[in-house]
Amino acid sequence: MRPTVHDVAQEAGVSLATVDRVLNKRSGVRGITVARVEAAVAKLGFVRDIAAANLAKQRLYRLAFVIPEGPNSFMRGLEGELERVRSSSALERTQISIVKVPAFDGAALAAALDRLDVDAVSGVALVATEAAVVRDALARLSRAGIPIVTMVSDMPASKRDHYVGIDNVAAGRTAASLIGRFAGRRPGRIGLLAGSMLVRDHVERRMGFDQVIRAEFPDLECLPVLEGRDDAAVTRDVLGRFLEREAGIVGIYSMGAGNRGVIDVLSSRPGYRDIVVVAHELTDHSRKALRDGLFDAVINQDAGHEIRSAVRLLKARIDGTPVIDGQEQIRIEIYLRDNLP
């Protein structure tokens, strides 16, 4: 028979109210009493039934997700996965709100975080933009006891509790290995296309890419990063002008969104089809580009896994329960034309 809180209280020689305060990590209990309760828990092998406790207390998990607005297909896919989770979350006493902010705008992101009511929010997940004002806003939430999860793009120097997303340095290294091998050791130059270098995921992808190119493919030269703002029209203009003025381009690494603009440019001239292209995120457009031979590989991350993981991590932090690290690891997926799902 499983031990109960009554058994813990009896073993520790304290009241049920004291056990409840210790289990929920509330203040007002002497250290020696906390130690006695924790010793009783360990001795009896007591495991809390979090769902039952939350139901008894009518606890709701109120989670706010702050994500970029705009045409970024991956972000819209992330939003779609969030809507799916939200539609079924009421059964788990979870309320999810979605806050959208302009992409790559640290001030707007910080303002949105500052507007969150700390008395009405249990946890916050966000796609981070690197900025001091964002770090300050996260610090204020942390001081208020609000768990924080960053998604897709991390801010490790901030007060966030967990990061959910792929290892972006490894993703960049993977892209470099693919381009170097697909190029067949041809010497030449590589165009690098990011959404913005204000987000850590694109910075880390560039870092990993450079590491492998320099170490393993010395005949390839990485050119300065172009920024397409994750927007198809901007990307089309920036990349089109780049390819017109630069000679000897053998590869393109598109480390952000805006793939529709990349596709438009590559489709505009037959000679561009010889360029090796590795892009990120498997969307309808990148899938078609793989099938048509415009893209050679797409590096993907599972948006649904990321949303579910963020929810689990926030709830675990709220409940004070352990995290299963392997369950929350987001893996790098590589798709070629031959293994499209």
44 with 89, same domain: the answer is no
The domain that contains 115 carries what CATH number? Answer: 3.40.50.2300
> What integer pLDDT is reported at residue 27 of this predicted model?
72
Q: Convert the pLDDT of each residue in 93-136 to its tens digit.
A: 899 999 999 999 999 999 999 999 999 999 999 999 999 999 99
Confidence label for 190 from pLDDT (cuts 50, 70 and 90):
very high
Single out the residue of 63, 32, 27, 55 nearest to residue 307, CA to CA: 63
| Residue 39 and residue 145 in one domain | no
pLDDT at 49 over 70: no
**Are 144 and 188 in a shared domain?**
no
The pLDDT value given to residue 197: 96
Q: Is residue 336 part of a domain?
A: no
What is the model's pLDDT at position 133?
A: 98
pLDDT category of residue 310 using cuts at 50, 70 and 90: very high
Residues 183 and 85 in one domain: no
Q: What is the pLDDT of residue 93?
A: 86
Average pLDDT over residues 160-189: 97
Asked if pLDDT for residue 92 goes beyond 80, the answer is no
User: Is 200 part of any domain?
Assistant: yes
In a domain, 124, yes or no: yes
Residue 1 has pLDDT above 70, yes or no: yes
15 pLDDT more than 90 = no
More confident: 54 or 67: 67
Residues 207, 132 within the same domain: no
Check whether 56 has a pLDDT greater than 70.
no
Q: Is 134 exposed, middle or buried (0-12, 13-18, 19+ CB in 10 A)?
A: buried
Least trusted range by pLDDT, from 42-56, 105-119, 175-189: 42-56
State yes or no: pLDDT of 145 exceeds 80: yes
Band (pLDDT 50/70/90 cuts) for residue 320 is confident
Residue 163 has pLDDT above 70, yes or no: yes
23 in helix, strand or coil? helix
Total domains present in the chain: 3
Domain that holds residue 125: 61-164+303-330
DSSP SS3 for 43: helix
Strand pairing class (188-194; 249-254): parallel
341 found inside a domain: no
| Choice between 60 and 301, residue whose per-residue pLDDT is larger | 301
pTM, 2 dp: 0.83
Question: What is the predicted pLDDT for the residue at 55?
Answer: 45
Residue 221, domain member (yes or no)? yes
In whole angstroms, what is the distance from residue 45 CA to residue 151 CA? 35
| Predicted confidence band of residue 53 (pLDDT cuts 50, 70, 90) | low
- Domain check: are 84 and 180 in the same one? no
pLDDT band at 189 (very low <50, low <70, confident <90, very high): very high
The residue among 56 and 251 whose pLDDT is bigger is 251
User: Does residue 78 share a domain with residue 13?
Assistant: no
Q: Pick the more confident residue, 49 or 102.
A: 102
pLDDT at 59: 65
For the stretch 229-268, what's the b/e string if a residue is b when 16 or more beta carbons lie within 10 angstroms of its beta carbon? bbbbebbbebbbebbeeeeebbbbbbbbbbbbbbbbbbee
215 and 132 co-located in one domain = no
Assigned domain for 338 exists: no
| CB-based contacts of 201, cutoff 8 Å, min separation 6 | 152, 153, 154, 165, 168
Between 42-51, 156-165, 319-328, the lowest mean confidence (pLDDT) is in: 42-51
